[in-house]
Amino acid sequence: MVNPEMVMFEEELLQIQAICERLVRDANAAAVFIVDKNGQLIAEAGETENLDTTSLATLTAGNMAATGGIAKLLKENDFATQFHEGQRRHMHIQVVGQRVILVVVFDERSSLGLVRLRVRRASQEIDSVFEVMLSKVAEAPMASPFAEITDEDIDNLFND
Amino acid sequence: MAIFNYSSREISCKIVYYGPGLCGKTTNLQYIYNKTSPNARGKMISLATETERTLFFDFLPLSLGEIRGFKTRFHLYTVPGQVFYGAIRKLVLKGVDGIVFVADSQIMRTEANLESMDNLRENLLDHGYSLERVPYVVQYNKRDLPAVAPVSELRAALNPAGVPEFEGIATQGLGVFETLKSVAKLVLLDLRRGGRR
């Protein structure tokens, strides 16, 4: 199997969450997200209450996948950084370690320069957290938490 | 690629509806969206052209409930069926955990079904998966239309492996939830085995 399930542990997730929260402060950002390349949301920080974060994660991953496809047509490996400029809100998107996507939403309280600067440091930190997490999984492969489920458990899901 | 999140105790899985253009993939998702309680579903997103043909994908997040204390979330996607959107179909398949192949039962669409099935196999191979190892089910849609092929013929052409199969009339919801439940079950059983490693 090329892509085994991704396993997120509490310890590393807390570290990633802390990095996101600091990035919101350091970059004066409105919101920060970390999205897996397949479109699943991993962490979020900042003003996210009025945002549809699930959709945002999916569309960001789709967007990155599409531009990645364009990059290959142009004989580039990837376009690792993207910037979308709106009238009030802007978005900076950065691929981190070929694994996850770091999204920063910001407005007039910040600037592209500041966001880029802060994203650079945060990316390195996020990458090293994922390195640790992946090596953990590789060293001690875990049994699936679903290894013990019964047919009945599954049927119960669909009884509503 | 399912994600087990031990912190929030959630598992997220990705299911892709595949099939030729106009076979009813988006209609399946729309029916599921309309018939699911708002607590159990998120917003449905359709990236479509002005003529409502899928351009990139449709997306519908569903929350099915808990298994052993893990919230199970299913993210349903469709691919654009039209032949020239091949590159996009491949992108959507990335990280897939389960597949629904929606076939158009009309005799005149036989070739399109076969072509789409071949395309699915190729695209999976490019991602390093094989259809034999990915949980998948088949839906023979549009059973209400005139000039449909008998199920036995469709089965011989599209389901030689004998995976779970369903007759569907997606516009009326017939077979839609049966198909979804079946693929969701296969995905969970696959996770029980520890995935496709």
Q: What is the mean pLDDT of residues A24-36?
A: 96
Q: What is the pLDDT of residue A2?
A: 35
A48 compared with B55, residue with greater pLDDT = A48
Q: Which of residues 28-87 of B touch A (CB under 8 A)?
A: 42-43, 45, 47, 56-57, 59, 61, 64-65, 67-68, 70, 72, 75, 87
- The rounded distance, in Å, linking the Cα atoms of B105 and B146 is 10
Q: Which of residues 59-98 of A touch B (CB under 8 A)?
A: 59, 62, 65-66, 69
Return the top range by mean pLDDT from A36-50, A145-159, B100-114: B100-114
Flag whether pLDDT at A4 surpasses 70.
no
Q: What is the pLDDT of residue B197?
A: 43
Band of the pLDDT at A32, cuts 50, 70, 90?
A: very high
- Whether B1 sits inside 8 A of A147 (CB atoms) is no
Chain B residues with CB inside 8 Å of A36's CB? 1, 3, 95
Flag whether pLDDT at A5 surpasses 70.
no
Give residue-wise pLDDT tens across range A85-130: 999 999 999 999 888 999 999 999 999 999 999 999 999 999 999 9
Which distant-in-sequence residues (6+ apart) come within 8 Å of A110 by Cβ?
Answer: A27, A28, A29
Band of the pLDDT at A149, cuts 50, 70, 90?
A: confident
A36 compared with A28, residue with greater pLDDT = A28
Band of the pLDDT at A153, cuts 50, 70, 90?
A: confident
Alpha-helical (H) ranges within A2-159 are 10-26, 53-73, 112-139, 151-157
**Domain ranges across chain A:** 10-158
* Identity of the residue numbered B114: L
DSSP chain B: --EEETTTTEEEEEEEEE-STTSSHHHHHHHHHHHS-TTTB---EEEE-TTS-EEEEEEEEEEEEEETTEEEEEEEEE---SGGGHHHHHHHHTT-SEEEEEEE-BGGGHHHHHHHHHHHHHHHHHTT--TTTS-EEEEEE-TTSSSBPPHHHHHHHH-TT---EEE-BTTTTBTHHHHHHHHHHHHHHHHHTT---
Does the CB of A140 have a partner CB in chain B at under 8 Å?
no
- Whether A54 sits inside 8 A of B64 (CB atoms) is no
Q: Which of residues 117-146 of B touch A (CB under 8 A)?
A: 127-129, 133
User: Are A65 and B90 spatial neighbours (Cβ–Cβ below 8 Å)?
Assistant: no
Flag whether pLDDT at A6 surpasses 80.
no
Instruction: Average pLDDT across each block of 10 residues of chain B; the chain has 197 residues. List them in order.
Output: 80 95 96 94 88 88 88 94 88 94 97 97 94 96 97 97 97 96 93 68
Q: What is the pLDDT of residue A139?
A: 80
Give residue-wise pLDDT tens across range B54-100: 888 899 999 988 888 889 999 999 999 988 888 889 999 989 999 99
User: What sign results for the dihedral spanned by CA atoms B104, B107, B110, B112?
Assistant: negative
A65 compared with B121, residue with greater pLDDT = B121
Q: What is the pLDDT of residue B142?
A: 98
- The rounded distance, in Å, linking the Cα atoms of A99 and B97 is 18
Q: What is the pLDDT of residue A142?
A: 67
When mean pLDDT is compared across A55-59, A147-151, B7-11, B105-109, the lowest value belongs to: A147-151
Q: What is the CATH number of domain A10-158?
A: 3.30.450.30
Which distant-in-sequence residues (6+ apart) come within 8 Å of A79 by Cβ?
Answer: A67, A68, A70, A71
